[in-house]
Amino acid sequence: MLKKSSRLTNMVTTILYGVYCAVVAIIFTLIEYFTGMQYSTIYWFNWLAVPFYIIILVLAMRERKREDFGGTITYGQCVGTGFWVGVFSGIITAIFMYVYYTVINPDFINQMVAQQMQTMRDRGMTAQEIQNAQAMTRTMSSPAIMVLWSLFGAIIGSTIMALIIGIFVRSKNEEAVKAV
């Protein structure tokens, strides 16, 4: 039987809320896919997921405050919670994105490169400039690189949000927390 203060017990909350964040990311990716927005210039759509991520991080921090830290939580613990939620979310999202780029929508990268090439033509770039840019785009847009971007993007995004959210969720009297 695990004690309440064990490391594994403390990680369960971050794993669970990481799964929630990953589900939000997957849902938004699938909405883009099924509506055809993944090839459009509608970049604001993914920003609609941010409020969900904020709510999930607040709930994760509050649960850790209540369940793991005895009713108090420091700013550092808030940031740590956000980081770990991002790690677990990123791992799950990266796995999904690999499946997305290789099975669900294997033509995504070719379509994206074609769209970028057309944008470059519209800007009046030369054929040589377009060819050089296309080679770089294909290198940076391989499924493996895109999966890494998903992983690190989730970790960085979650940590940045936790840096802000932690200001409001942390216990107000951190001196009392440190004394315990």
User: What confidence tens digit (pLDDT) does each residue in 29-64 have?
Assistant: 999 999 888 766 667 788 899 999 999 999 999 999
- Residues 23 and 91 sit within 8 Å (Cβ to Cβ): no
Q: What is the DSSP letter of 123?
A: T
Q: Return the pLDDT at 110.
A: 83
User: What confidence tens digit (pLDDT) does each residue in 71-80 have?
Assistant: 999 999 999 9
Q: Return the pLDDT at 8.
A: 66
For 28, the token pair is 């938004």
- Residues 44 and 86 sit within 8 Å (Cβ to Cβ): no
- Residues 84 and 11 sit within 8 Å (Cβ to Cβ): yes
**Does the pTM of the predicted model rise above 0.75?**
yes
User: What confidence tens digit (pLDDT) does each residue in 117-147 have?
Assistant: 888 888 888 888 888 888 787 777 788 888 8
